[in-house]
A and B are shown apart, each in its own frame.
Chain A
Amino acid sequence: QVQLVESGGGVVQPGRSLSLSCAASGFTFSRQGMHWVRQAPGKGLEWVAVIWYDGSKKYYVDSVKGRFTISRDNSKNTLSLQMNGLTAEDTAVYYCARDSSYGAARIDHWGQGTLVTVSS
């Protein structure tokens, strides 16, 4: 069965960096687009970024452009999110999610999420 396990969350000071990882298993990772979606405490879901199955295309929500970088290692079945210049508005649970297509069409599986708290 599809498993997505995020790691790397924690407490970080404003302006600092943090890197999230997602270990994927139970499917052919190199054939699927992958997303990061976040949810601030008590708020709704916000799509953050997507990377195509082969890493050839990457798209971001405007609020993280230039600060966040999504990447993948198909040899290790791993998805990553490098987050720089963090602010309090980035505090959220970050979900790794699989797209059922090679790019971005629909998320069909989600990880359990990892909490990122930006605070001094």
Chain B
Amino acid sequence: ETGVTQSPTHLIKTRGQQVTLRCSSQSGHNTVSWYQQALGQGPQFIFQYYREEENGRGNFPPRFSGLQFPNYSSELNVNALELDDSALYLCASSRQGGDGYTFGSGTRLTVV
């Protein structure tokens, strides 16, 4: 059984640029959620995807968008990067209706 894989592990971008983060879900899981974790804080829910559609969103602006693909992998896109977007971005997969979440190791994004 494979776990959740995120890429890249680290990324440095310039303010105003766009970034795409990737996540492959655990085998058997059909739902993917994304979280942003600022330094010293708990993770904050960005959004969740199920059946290739967004079905829940946290308090994040529209420049945060995502995709889910037929193989349940997912992308997080952030446009017009701001310095405050610097954070660890975590992906979690689960089965719709299930309780268990498996998290990836995260992508550390630094915006300069």
Chain A partners chain B: no
B residues whose Cβ falls under 8 Å from a Cβ of A = none
